[in-house]
Structure 1
Amino acid sequence: MDAFLKYLARIPGALMIVPLFLGAVVATFAPQALEIGSFTTALFKSGTPVLIGLFFVCVGSQIDVRAAVPAVEKGIVLLLAKYGIAVVSGLSVAFLMPNGTLWGLLPLAIIAAMSNSNGSLYVALTSQFGNKSDKGAISILSINDGPFLTMIALGAAGLAEFPAMALFSAIFPMIFGFILGNTSPMARTFLAPGEKLIIPFAAFAIGAGINFGVLLGSGAVGILLGLATVAFSGGAAVLCLYVWHLLRGHPRPTRNLIAGAAEASTAGNAIATPAAIAMIDPSLAPIQGIATAQVAAAVVCTAFTMPFLVAWLASWQKRNGISPDAEEAMYESRSLAVSSEPGFSGG
């Protein structure tokens, strides 16, 4: 078994991808196997929110307060890049293409898929290939969870209020872990193993909500949407992150772009976006089913292709002398320099 696990570990993002794939296989070919109830169903099928919440607590506890500012800046850059390319892509199809579609792809599906990223996959990949500031950016990137940004992009003004509390509740576990880790070294040490321990269980539960059947029929074109999400979201995020490094005057070896590539995915919760929007705007109800299938296909496609982009970029950076560790060391050295200035008080 150990030899087999070592073999699987060679797959980019294996800790997330392999359990997610297994969950999808079970959901497709033996869905009743996870419906037997009690702890089995709770852990392997319906426990996704709890597992992800606990995962974020553990991740937050490992973020050093000295990396907080770079993490927030990265998060803002990535959020704007991903949302911007989603809006441009979706509205371009809506207004410039015949019938407002592109090869059957709906603007609703395009914006929902391209603007919403898989937070668990992002943190799993930045944990493997990135640094603390990369992981810490998830506290800002959590804003793109759910249908809220899609509603704004579709011009649904006046149809719904922006639920600030829902956004806060999405990032609070990370904030809670951040507070624990920065006020108690014992808590940070205790929670550290949870970063990797929880990932495969959360991934399997996410996969258990995906049926490979959505790749057939009207949702099949969603595979193209997934590839476009990886290419365009990843490209825009990497480009904007590179510009941010230049504007901040970071030396070339510290211009780490892993976080940009790791943001090029579609979150599983984006599958519910078309239905949520159709409830607010009934005029979209006729296309809800097709849009849902397309987004679901994009979720599967990005989950299995985006990690290879991240792995390739990590290899390219290494060959060119660019290192996430060098970037992290730069932030730490600057923080120490500031704290040693006359008159500076950390209290």
Structure 2
Amino acid sequence: MVPLFLGAIIHTLAPKSGEYFGSFTNGLMTGTVPILAVWFFCMGAGINIKATGTVLRKSGTLVITKIAVAWVVAIVASLFIPDGGIQTGFFAGFSVLALIAAMDMTNGGLYASIMQQYGTKEEAGAFVLMSLESGPLVTMLILGTTGLAAFEPHVFVGAVLPFLIGFILGNLDHDLRDFFSKATHTMIPFFGFALGNSIDLTVIAKTGVAGIVLGILVIVVTGIPLMLADKYIGGGNGTAGLAASSTAGAAVANPMIIAQMKPEFLPVAESATALVAASIIVTSILVPILTAYFSQFMSKKNGQTPTKKHSATAI
């Protein structure tokens, strides 16, 4: 988030900085899409198809539930929120795009670190399929299947192709998997900085409490179904489901990417980006705290002594 806000500060105070310097500096400040393309490729390369059945069942349950909830939210929200988003009042800036982008992706790093502390090794490894949510593909699928936007088939292919190529290469050669997967975290500050250079901080200021409300909504609306799915399908006690109720850091890029593909979303893309950024911060703070308390509650309920493993935090 720091590189993102640094880029936003530069864009707010000197919006034509990239154009002024040109060359590589301009590419670094405006290259959100190519940087994300490389990141998406590396994410695919890092997924091991030979993951254990327990890990696949747990991660599959959480991923499918998260996407299904975002899909339902899109349908319901489209009945009440106009195409141009809410313009006035407490929920000013809210749009269907903002809600989907905030809810359809889990922060895999945050989830893994929480479950390393409060769950089992298999539960921590369940982030393996959460990479499938990364990038704009799931958001595009939800918008398309709900009738909110129409994407040509080749656009869907273009959105997922880097991921698939990385996935294939990573599973054909484990050395390639190790090599490319190391770049996954390295790319995050770069696309965060580039994305920040498309955000005007005055828009974030205008979101005000709405961004906090969105973060809380993400935890409540996605957290409850995730906890139920984890308990009754995934074989857990609900802790993993709550730990997955966050907004992924990469989700902040989706509104702008979708707007580039479908210009009709441009009017709401900037406010959606600001709201999603706020949701990332709110969920990154609240989800670990809530998960810790819930884990302790379940341990006491089952007559176990809560054990705290090595601490780990991530955003």
1:83 maps to which residue? 71
Q: For 1:60-79, what aligned pairs fall within 5 Å after superposition?
A: 60-65=44-49, 66=51, 67-68=55-56, 70-79=58-67
Q: For 1:224-263, what aligned pairs fall within 5 Å after superposition?
A: 224-248=209-233, 250-252=235-237, 255-262=240-247
1:343 maps to which residue? none
List runs of 5+ in structure 2 lacking aligned partners.
116-123, 300-305, 310-315
1:3 maps to which residue? none
Check 1:136–1:172 CA distance in 2 against 1; reply closer, same or farther (3 A cut): farther
1:46 maps to which residue? 30
Deviations 1:46-76 (A, max 9, x none): 2211221221222222222125554444322
SS of residue in 1 equivalent to 2:288: helix
Does the CA-based 8 Å contact 1:226-1:302 persist in structure 2? yes
Deviations 1:273-313 (A, max 9, x none): 67977759xxxxxxx74x45542431342243332133334
2:162 counterpart of 1:173: yes
Does the CA-based 8 Å contact 2:43-2:184 persist in structure 1? yes
Does the CA-based 8 Å contact 2:103-2:218 persist in structure 1? no
SS of residue in 2 equivalent to 1:255: helix
List runs of 5+ in structure 1 lacking aligned partners.
1-16, 95-99, 281-287, 326-347
State the aligned residue count: 284
Check 1:273–1:190 CA distance in 2 against 1; reply closer, same or farther (3 A cut): closer
Deviates more, 1:118-127 or 1:297-306: 118-127
Does the CA-based 8 Å contact 1:62-1:192 persist in structure 2? yes
- d(CA) in 1 for partners of 2:249, 2:214: 6
Check 1:40–1:209 CA distance in 2 against 1; reply closer, same or farther (3 A cut): same
2:157 counterpart of 1:192: no
1:309 maps to which residue? 286
**Which of these residues, 13, 20, 41, is aligned with residue 57 of structure 1?**
41
Check 1:85–1:174 CA distance in 2 against 1; reply closer, same or farther (3 A cut): same
SS of residue in 2 equivalent to 1:204: helix
SS of residue in 2 equivalent to 1:252: coil
Does the CA-based 8 Å contact 1:63-1:181 persist in structure 2? yes
- d(CA) in 2 for partners of 1:264, 1:316: 24
SS of residue in 2 equivalent to 1:198: helix
The alpha-carbon deviation at position 124 of structure 1 amounts to: 5.0
Q: Which letter maps to 1:85? A: V
CA RMSD of aligned residues (A): 3.8
The alpha-carbon deviation at position 104 of structure 1 amounts to: 6.5
- d(CA) in 2 for partners of 1:192, 1:272: 23
Does the CA-based 8 Å contact 2:252-2:277 persist in structure 1? no
SS of residue in 2 equivalent to 1:213: helix
SS of residue in 2 equivalent to 1:261: coil
Check 1:195–1:151 CA distance in 2 against 1; reply closer, same or farther (3 A cut): closer
Identity across matched positions, percent: 21
Check 1:53–1:129 CA distance in 2 against 1; reply closer, same or farther (3 A cut): farther
- d(CA) in 1 for partners of 2:217, 2:238: 25
The alpha-carbon deviation at position 170 of structure 1 amounts to: 2.1
